[in-house]
């Protein structure tokens, strides 16, 4: 499953530094002036999962393949972007391609890095981005309504979409994003979003980019932002992007030693990726054999045939059954043979809902 997350924010908040810290290969230019990023940079970031390593220790495969998330470093947005200010049109076009948004907020003070807002104010900065996305959605919905009004004259079934558009326009006009819409699942709103992917309907994750000094000012900014995201029920991850980027210059063992010495705990980047999984409602299942142990991404609630289709579309069409071992059982009993001997390998049909950590072998026909 290809997951595409767009990194957004005002200019000079550290988006490209976050991107560089995440990526092992692609590098984005960083500089002390707005719109340093013009063309978006993209990188597939492997998802570090200790369960994959534990399964591989038992299966001893020739190859171990993690799942990955694609991140895109998108040009900075400024007030007026919905009207084309700055690089607004390009920004909004890139955002529409994303499955979810990682909104980087500046929570650090640095006299050498200009702040387009005139000073550190994380809630104000978050409001600027959110407002521009809502204004863009209003324009999109107004254009959509004009089209649907013509269609409804010949087919009254389109009336339901006009009504949901009007409810969304009213909500956006009150400063509430489309994610807060209280509409029944699978109804007219779902039909509308398939045709018109609204920007404020996308899942969003916030990243508080702090400094290394531990200044009171920086922590106060993070606390204010955490209160805001908490009220909205949105995840917030706090990292120091510059520190994480610097640690990328060392090999894994050296970086881990420095991390322990500095008391940094879990990699901020791992926390970002895992939070992105949570925000998007994703889980991981595994396949394990002598040739390869691999992690796969699927949406939470997916049934076995859909998961099989992530490996190959023919597996979904020809799905017969799945042999499933829970992760804890696989590890606790030394792999597939031990689980089979203990009766812990289950045969599941097409209605089985895949669980996070399942080790699965799919059986499919032609």
Give the number of other CB atoms < 10 A from CB of residue 157.
9
Reduced to 3 states (helix: H, G, I; strand: E, B; else coil), residue 299 is: strand
Residue 51 to residue 57: CA distance in whole angstroms:
10
Cα(121)–Cα(6) distance, rounded to whole angstroms?
A: 22
Encode 226-265: b = buried (16+ Cβ within 10 Å), e = exposed.
eebbeeeebbbbbbbbbbbbebeeeeeeebeeebeeeebe
Q: Give which of 170, 121, 123, 122 is closest to 145, Cα–Cα.
A: 170
Residue 154 annotated as binding site? no
Q: According to the annotation, is 213 in a ligand binding site?
A: no
Name the residue with tokens 């960083």.
30
Structure tokens at 153: 């004259």
CA dihedral 149, 152, 158, 161 (to 10 degrees): 20
Report how far residue 169's alpha carbon sits from residue 13's, in angstroms, rounded to the nearest whole number. Answer: 30
Is 40 assigned to a binding site? no
Q: How far apart are CA 305 and CA 76, in angstroms?
A: 40
Residue 14 marked ligand-binding: yes
Give the pairing type, strands 282-288 and 236-239.
unpaired
Partnered with residue 361 across adjacent β-strands are 323
12 is in an annotated binding site: yes
CA distances (Å), origin 185, targets 192, 202, 299 = 12, 15, 16
Task: Give the pair of three-digit tokens for residue 118.
Answer: 């005139």
Tokens of 44: 């597939």
Annotated binding site: 12-17
Residues placed in the known binding site for ATP:
12-17
């Amino acid at each position: 499953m290809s997951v595409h997350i767009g990194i957004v924010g005002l200019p000079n908040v550290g988006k490209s530094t976050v991107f560089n810290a995440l990526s092992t290969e692609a590098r984005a230019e960083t500089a002390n002036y707005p719109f340093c990023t013009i063309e978006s940079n993209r990188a597939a970031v492997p998802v570090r999962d200790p369960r994959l390593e534990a399964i591989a220790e038992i299966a001893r495969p020739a190859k171990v393949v993690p799942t990955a998330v694609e991140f895109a470093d998108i040009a900075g947005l400024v007030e007026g972007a919905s009207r084309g200010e700055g690089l607004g049109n390009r920004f909004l076009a890139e955002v529409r391609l994303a499955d979810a948004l990682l909104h980087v907020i500046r929570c650090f003070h640095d006299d050498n890095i200009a702040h387009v807002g005139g000073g550190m104010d994380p809630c104000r900065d978050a409001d600027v981005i959110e407002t521009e996305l809502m204004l863009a959605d209003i324009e999109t919905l107004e254009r959509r309504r004009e089209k649907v009004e013509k269609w409804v004259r010949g087919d009254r079934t389109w009336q339901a979409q006009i009504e949901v558009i009007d409810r969304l326009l009213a909500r956006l006009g009150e400063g509430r994003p489309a994610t807060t819409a209280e509409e029944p699942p699978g109804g007219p709103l779902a039909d509308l979003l398939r045709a018109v992917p609204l920007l404020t309907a996308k899942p969003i994750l916030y990243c508080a980019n702090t400094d290394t000094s531990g200044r009171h000012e920086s922590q106060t900014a993070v606390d204010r932002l955490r209160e805001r995201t908490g009220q909205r029920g949105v995840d917030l991850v706090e990292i120091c992007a510059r520190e994480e980027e610097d640690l990328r210059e060392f090999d894994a063992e050296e970086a881990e030693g420095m991390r322990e010495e500095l008391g940094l705990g879990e990699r901020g980047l791992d926390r970002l990726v895992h939070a992105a999984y949570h925000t998007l409602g994703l889980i991981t299942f595994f396949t394990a054999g002598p040739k390869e142990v691999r992690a796969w991404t699927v949406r939470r609630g997916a049934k076995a045939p859909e998961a099989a289709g992530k490996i190959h579309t023919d597996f979904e069409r020809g799905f017969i059954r799945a042999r499933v071992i829970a992760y804890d059982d696989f590890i606790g009993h030394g792999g597939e043979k031990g689980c089979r001997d203990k009766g812990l390998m289950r045969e599941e049909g097409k209605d089985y809902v895949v669980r996070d950590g399942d080790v699965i072998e799919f059986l499919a026909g032609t």
